[in-house]
Structures are given as structure tokens and as C-alpha cells.
Amino acid sequence: MPDFSILFAALLNGLTQGAVYALIALGLTLIYGVLHIINFAHGAALMLALYAVYFLYTRLGIDPYLALPLITAGMFALGYLLQRFIIGRASHGRDENILLVTLGLAIVMENLALFVFRSDTRTIETPYAFATVEIAGALIGIPKLAALAGAIVVTAGLYILMVRTDLGRAIRALAKERQGARLVGIDVEHVLAMSFGIGLACVGAAASFLMPSYYVNPTVGSGFVLIAFTVVVLGGMGSFVGALAGGFIVGIAESLGGLYGMALGLGENLGQLAIFVLFIAVLLIRPQGLFGARA
């Protein structure tokens, strides 16, 4: 049984790692949870955003956190254009087509990245990469604390956007009744594209917070996309608070599962198992997810 200081440190690690998962899942919960677009290109979009952070830092010397507005704006534009001119047009509004189009986009994006950037793993070394803060004896990296703060701020921002703005109301209207929304004069294609854009902008923010402590290569997204889907379903589809809480829960389950896995001699990868055991347990008890509305 690990002692309290180790347990506390693992808990903090899980919380901060969960914040990164939440950041990635926030965009997905908007696209997948609200609009029911199964976006298989989410991981590939994260990869592109990570490359953008990498090149802004290495070529122009722009710090990942300062690059955040640029990256989110760029990803928003990419998302808007993709939905408006590729996904929307190619899928003809059918869910199974959307699935195939986004899967196709993911394959194209990953292979383009492989062609252009090659398969090298790239990392950046910021002056604060190894800086830590001591919290009750546990050393927590500054980039991880920044991700935690970022996840909370982005969640709050999205919540306000959805509740207080016309765009948010239009997105919610679309999620509930697409034809009805069209009848009352909502520009459905524009709102869909805006939602997709906002979803990818969240991925951009996630990339800015992730890059200082991680790496990028053309297949990096695949390591996060399944986790992000899990977080979305666990938290409740379409719920931002759910995505944040789901991210934290998944992060902590992974961390504690790994810790106990090691203590029991079963390996750190027990943490991965813990995520999905918890996931199944939650869905058995609460099929709509922790914060999801009952269908």
C-alpha cells in the first residue's frame, strides 16, 4: 500500500494529466456530443495543432502559451472551413457519411504530415519545461499546472458561450431539432461550421498546453483520441462540465490504477485498464454519463 505522500502526488498527477484529457475532450463534446458528428479527425487535428505550436516556437520563437491565441484562431478557421466545404458537402447530412469523411480526413492529414514533416518525433525545450512547484511534498511541473488552469478557463468560457450568447443558443437549438432551427431562421450550415471551428479551437488550446511537456509526430493524436471519446461519454455527451469532470476522473483513475498496478507487480499499464473498468461501471449505473441529460 503506497504511503500518503505518494498517493497524494499520484492524485495530483492524475488531476493535471486529466486536465489535458479534458481540454482535448471539450472540443469533442461540442462536435460529438452536441452535433452528433463523430469526428475521427480529432486526433489528427490535435497533431496538426501540436506541429503548429512546435514550428511557432522553433522557427519564430513564440512561446506555446503566447501562441495560444494564434493556434486557437488558426484551428478555428480550419475547423470552420473543413465543416463548411468538405465534411458538410461530402456527407450530405448522413451520419454514416460523416463518420467516413472524418475518418478519411484523419488518414489524409496524418499521411500529409508524414510526407511533409516526416516521422521524426519532435519536442521543444522551454525554459520552464523542468520547473516544478512543491505542493505538500509533491513536485508538480509548471506546464501541467498551466494545463489544469487552462482546462478550467476553457470550460468556463465554453459554458458562458453556450448559455449567454446567441451562437450558443443556436448551437443548442440545432442539437435538439435541426429542422426546427432552420424554420426559425437559423443558418444551420454556418452554425454547424462555427461549432466545428470552436471544437477544433479547443484542440488548439489543448495543443498549446500539451506541447511543453509532450512531443509531436504524425501519429501522436491516436494516443489521445480514444481517451477523449471515453471522457466525453463518461462525462455525458454535450456537457462541458462533464468533459472536465470526466477528464479529471479518467486522469485520476489512470494514475491510481498505475500506482496500484506497480505496487502489485502488475505493471503501470494497469492504469489503462482502470480507465475502461471505471468507464463500463459508470455506463452500467448511469448510461447517460455523469452529467448527461437522460434521453
Task: Give residues in contact with another protein (CB under 8 A).
Answer: 2, 6, 9-10, 13, 17, 20, 111, 114, 118-121, 123, 125, 129-130, 132, 139, 141, 214-215, 217-219, 223-224, 254-255, 258-259, 262, 265, 267-269, 271-272
Which CB, 219 or 288, lies closer to another protein?
A: 219
**What is the nearest approach in angstroms of another protein to the Cβ of residue 171?**
30
Q: Please, are residues 147 and 209 in contact by the beta-carbon 8 Å criterion?
A: yes
End-to-end CA distance of the chain: 42
**What is the nearest approach in angstroms of another protein to the Cβ of residue 37?**
25
- Helix extents (H) in 118-236: 142-164, 166-176, 178-183, 188-210, 222-235
Which CB, 97 or 269, lies closer to another protein?
A: 269
- In the chain the beta strands, taken as DSSP E runs, fall at 132-135, 138-141
**What is the nearest approach in angstroms of another protein to the Cβ of residue 282?**
21
Which CB, 58 or 97, lies closer to another protein?
A: 58
- CA 79/CA 145 separation, integer angstroms: 28
- CA 275/CA 272 separation, integer angstroms: 5
Cα torsion 211, 22, 27, 72: sign: negative
50's enclosing H/E stretch is helix 42-60
**What is the nearest approach in angstroms of another protein to the Cβ of residue 215?**
6
**What is the nearest approach in angstroms of another protein to the Cβ of residue 40?**
17
Which CB, 110 or 192, lies closer to another protein?
A: 110
Which CB, 156 or 277, lies closer to another protein?
A: 277
Q: What are phi and psi of 134, to 5 degrees?
A: -95, 120
